[in-house]
Each structure stands twice: as C-alpha cells, then as structure tokens.
A and B are shown apart, each in its own frame.
Chain A
C-alpha cells in the first residue's frame, strides 16, 4: 500500500469536538475524490468513534483524543485513540444495543454503525490502557458502484 498522505490531530475530549473531528477527516479524505455517500459514511463512523472516546473512554473533558488519518491509493485509514478506561469485553461492547450507559439514553448502536458504514473496523483495548479503533474505507471512484445489500 502506497501512503499518499497522513494527518494527526489531538483535541480535548469535549463533545463540541465531535463535529470538528468528522469534518476534519472528511475534508482530508476529499483528496481521494470520494462520493458524497462515502464522505457521509466516513463522517458518521468518525462521529461514533470519537463520541465513544469522549463518553466511554474518558468521561472527563480534560483528556486528549488522538485522530490519525492516512490516505492510500484506494482507501482511507482512520484511527481514533484514547488513553482512558478501556473496554473489558470488546465482543460485548460491539454487540448491537449494548450500552454501558443506558442512563444517558445511548442506543448502543455505535459500533454497529461503524461496521455498517466502513469496510473494516478493528478495536484494540485493555482496561486502564485506553482504546484504539481502526477503520478502513475503500474509495471506489466508480459511478457504476452497486449498492450493498443488507
């Protein structure tokens, strides 16, 4: 894989930065000339991962979330990293409708949305050490692209 470009951002774990993060990644990924749908997919997945870092990773607005975006010839690779609590049971956390914070009216669909909108989602986490979510989106640049079936 030929790395074409890379950017790294760090921002405080505050909810205002969710919009900043997804717009920043979308603007950077525009270099690959993605479709509007691909851009929307990326924005949604980044929003989910960054929200998870802010709500579940830290639950404290004075820590830093790291966001790395790499552009390759045919894909965008995004890493969202926090050094917060970590996830004890990753399989459980990834299950649809599972939420550790039902009192916040969270839907528990964050990982499911990431998996639906991105081509690959990998979660690395350990209690007390934080969480890294790595997501890959292939940019097809192909108008004949067929819709994925459910």
Chain B
C-alpha cells in the first residue's frame, strides 16, 4: 500500500509499504493513478524502503506508471532498493528505464540536476 506522499514542485514522492504482489497490485496501481491525475506532476519517486516483498506483479505496476510519466517528459526513480528487489528489477530489465538512487534526497537532486 501507499503510505504518505509528498510533493516537491513537479516531483511526486510516494512511499510503498508492505507487499507488492498480484493481490495488492490493483490497489497500488489505482492509488498511484489517482495521484498522477494531477498533470502538474512530471517526475515520480517511488521509495521502497518499507516494501518487504515484491514479485513480478510489481514490474507491471512500475512499467505502467513509467509510461504515464515518460509521456510528460519526466523520470521515474526508485530509492532504497533491497537486494531481493534489486534482483527482480535486474532480471526484468527495469534498470534500463528507471533510475535508482540510495535515498529520496539523492533522487530529488538527480532529477533537479538533469532538469537544468
């Protein structure tokens, strides 16, 4: 589920918590899409610090939101990726389209750095 989100100008920061499997994917997808209806959001940072489990259902969720954001010319960043998540992201090729940062602050700086 999503716990707390934060806006920094055109960046939306969302924290994912718990488990992202097929059962929870629909709820997470809906919540994210509702937030992304605000067209002033250009970049999305997904903080995975408290995400305890993810399987390939999460890959579908990430790719779908990437499509929305890339149409706006923005970036999708993920932060605080644990080793298990890293392997799933790696086999799925998501590293080619998502940017990975250690912390939310670094992701914000990264987006700002490229936007100039």
Contacts and interface: CB of A to CB of B under 8 A. Distances in A.
Q: How large is the interface on B (under 10, 10 to 19, 20 to 34, 35 or more residues)?
A: 20 to 34
A44 B53 CA distance: 8
Given A19-B21, A51-B22, A105-B64, A112 B57 contact: no
Interface of B: 19, 21-23, 25, 29, 53, 55-57, 59-61, 63-64, 83-84, 87-88, 90-92
A107 B84 contact: no
- Which bucket holds chain A's interface residue count? 20 to 34
Contacts of A113: 55-56, 88, 91-92
Contacts, number: 66
A106 B57 CA distance: 6
A129 interface: no
B84 A40 contact: yes
A84 to B, nearest CB: 16
A105 B21 contact: no
A15 B84 contact: no
A109 B22 contact: no
A132 interface: no
A43 B25 CA distance: 17
Nearest to B59: A107
B56 A18 contact: no
Contacts of B83: 37
Given A18-B23, A43-B53, A107 B87 contact: no
A31 B23 CA distance: 28
Nearest to B82: A40
Given A51-B22, A105-B60, A109-B56, 20 more contacts: A16-B23, A18-B22, A19-B23, A37-B83, A40-B84, A43-B53, A44-B53, A44-B55, A44-B84, A44-B88, A54-B22, A105-B64, A106-B56, A107-B56, A107-B57, A107-B59, A109-B59, A113-B88, A113-B91, A113-B92
A106 B26 CA distance: 11
Nearest to A110: B56
Nearest to B25: A105
Contacts of B60: 104-107
24 contacts: A15-B21, A19-B19, A37-B83, A40-B84, A47-B55, A51-B21, A51-B22, A51-B57, A104-B60, A105-B29, A105-B60, A105-B63, A105-B64, A106-B56, A106-B60, A107-B59, A107-B92, A109-B92, A112-B56, A113-B55, A113-B91, A113-B92, A116-B87, A150-B90
A107 B29 CA distance: 14
